[in-house]
Amino acid sequence: MCRQRWHWKNYSSGSWRADPGPQSNGGTMTDDIRSRRLRPLATLAAGLATVMALSGCTLIQEIQELGGTTPMPGEGLEVVPEDLDATLSSYYEQEFEWEPCDTSVGAPSDAECATVLAPMDWSAPDAYDDIQLALIRLPATGTSQGSMFTNPGGPGGSGLSFIAGSGTSFFSKDLREKFDIVSWDPRGVGASSAVDCVDDAGMDEYLYGVPENAASMTPEELVAFEIEKTRKFTAGCLENTGDLLAFVDTQSTVRDLDLLRALVGDRTLTYFGLSYGTDIGAQYIDKFPDRVGRVVLDGATDPTVPAFDVIIDQQEKFGDATRNYLADCFTAAECPFAGPTVDDAIGQIRATMDEVDSTLPKGPDGRTFTSSVMLTAINMTMYDSSSWQYLSQAFSAWYTAADSSVFFFLADLYNDRDQSGHYASNMMEAFQAINCLDYPLVTDKDAIRSFYERLAEVSIFFSLEDMTEAEMAIGDLTCENWPVRSKVTEQQAVTGAGAAPVLVVATSNDPATPLKWAEAVAQQLESATLLVVEGDGHIAYGRSTCGDQVIDEYFINGKVPADPTHC
């Protein structure tokens, strides 16, 4: 998720491909936004209020309209590719054992964990030390049809944390019965060989740091502060991560996923990708079409969209979601905004942002409350309408008592920071590392200025009046100062020629991964069918009986719906 107002406070913390990930059938939300997390609403409830149930979607097309049934692909294939390079055979032939997960994982009692080895550099496996990949599995509750791999999004989301926290609730009873649910921490993430940049205090400085005299500083001085802060962060990433920092790109993760497929003994990949996890899945389909079994890409990202356009698309849709929130707020018994219109409320929020940026009040723990914190909290709650209530609580507390604690609570939840100031994962560090390798770096000043001009046309919280010339020259400070340059010069479409039928899924009003991205991916992939679930929020699974039935029938019985199908 991108922050929706591009002030100097936002530049160094990155800007695109944000996923919070999935929504569980039991009423969970995620973050990962920016992208990224899988966070039960119960976590919010513990700090704020009772969880609201998800509302159902309108049933437009019945499950009986499925287009056909396909057998499980892979007949005649060996588990290990016959044309595998000899230098990689030891990785595909390694042995490992599933064991009870360590108590620190917090997984259900029947979950099993394992660790395997992968080459740091798939193109030169002997050039560097091997890396470790941490896996988790929930065994099927019935007779297993094989493994179903899943990735929760991000980039930077932990598969271990996802399965530990949501594995038994996110997937339907039928999927749990028929499949061993397997996930992993991708390279650079969590319990696998991971990116490490700074300590907790360093992350606070990177994400929340504001100079004490910021209100009196010139725009040039503020930009210089941000540059120095960012360079300190990126230098720490290189110092503490080392060689791995150059090899946490998504293409390498795709190679890892095929290795994991073989190690669990599956001839083809069954995969449920969520949010950024769809990028992994789409690139797998494109690179290993003959190894595609049954693959669902829910909340799809379009690999052809440039970084700046990702931001613009997301800002437009987050703006739409915010408007929907405000309209809903005015129907409630208590709404913190004066109104009477949505545009009036947007103006009130903008005025509040200007106020806090000019006065820089301190939060309850001494951190400075800024529009950046406010926007992170707003974005955090736009992933699902059931969390809008918490945003109303945040604004109510601020307007009635100048209390910013709920804003900080939501922003910290987004950034995986607990109330003691500890960051529970390396999600934010991995997010930056992966993004900076996956996208071409844009440094052309005209392109950057054009980006801001286009952003102003779609964003409800940003205008060119907010920008000075010094700020208009800034693109993405983190990737501009990243120690390793991206090797990507042009983003490529995926085709997956020859792959078995796959399913691309979207909600109609997804703010983080707009519907048009899913439509584009479904067009690019030659064997794809599009499923659209009507409604708000990020990730379709768990929102509609119709949509869930289509997905479950596809995974279990190979039933491919009509293209497109609407629920």
Which residues are catalytic, by number? 275, 510, 538
Which residues, at least 6 apart from 202, have a Cβ–Cβ distance to it below 8 Å?
Answer: 232, 233, 236
- φ/ψ (deg, to 5) at 102: -60, 145
Question: What distances in angstroms separate CA 124 from CA 88, 127, 280, 336, 433, one per listed residue?
Answer: 10, 5, 21, 58, 21
The whole-angstrom separation of Cα 432 and Cα 249 is: 11
Q: What is the DSSP string of 444-493?
A: -HHHHHHHHHHHHHH-SS--GGG--HHHHT---HHHHT-SS-----S---
Dihedral in degrees, nearest 10, Cα atoms 282, 287, 290, 292:
-20
The whole-angstrom separation of Cα 541 and Cα 539 is: 6
Which residues, at least 6 apart from 336, have a Cβ–Cβ distance to it below 8 Å?
Answer: 329, 392, 395, 396, 399
Radius of gyration (Cα) for the chain, nearest Å? Answer: 23
Which amino acid appears at position 545 of this protein? T
Alpha-helix runs per DSSP H in 103-184: 159-170, 173-178
Q: Beta-carbon neighbour count of residue 79 at 10 Å?
A: 14
Question: What distances in angstroms separate CA 474 from CA 207, 230, 354, 443, 444, one per listed residue?
Answer: 17, 13, 21, 9, 10
> Under a CB-based contact definition with an 8 Å cutoff, are residues 485 and 342 in contact?
no
Q: Beta-carbon neighbour count of residue 205 at 10 Å?
A: 16
Which residues, at least 6 apart from 290, have a Cβ–Cβ distance to it below 8 Å?
Answer: 77, 498, 499
> Under a CB-based contact definition with an 8 Å cutoff, are residues 287 and 308 in contact?
no
Q: Is the peptide bond before 564 cis (omega within 30 degrees of 0)?
A: yes
> Under a CB-based contact definition with an 8 Å cutoff, are residues 135 and 115 in contact?
yes
The whole-angstrom separation of Cα 435 and Cα 428 is: 11
> Under a CB-based contact definition with an 8 Å cutoff, are residues 37 and 414 in contact?
yes
Q: Which two tokens stand for residue 375?
A: 């926007």
The whole-angstrom separation of Cα 163 and Cα 26 is: 14
> Under a CB-based contact definition with an 8 Å cutoff, are residues 384 and 23 in contact?
yes
The whole-angstrom separation of Cα 548 and Cα 546 is: 6
The residue behind tokens 């149930």 is 53
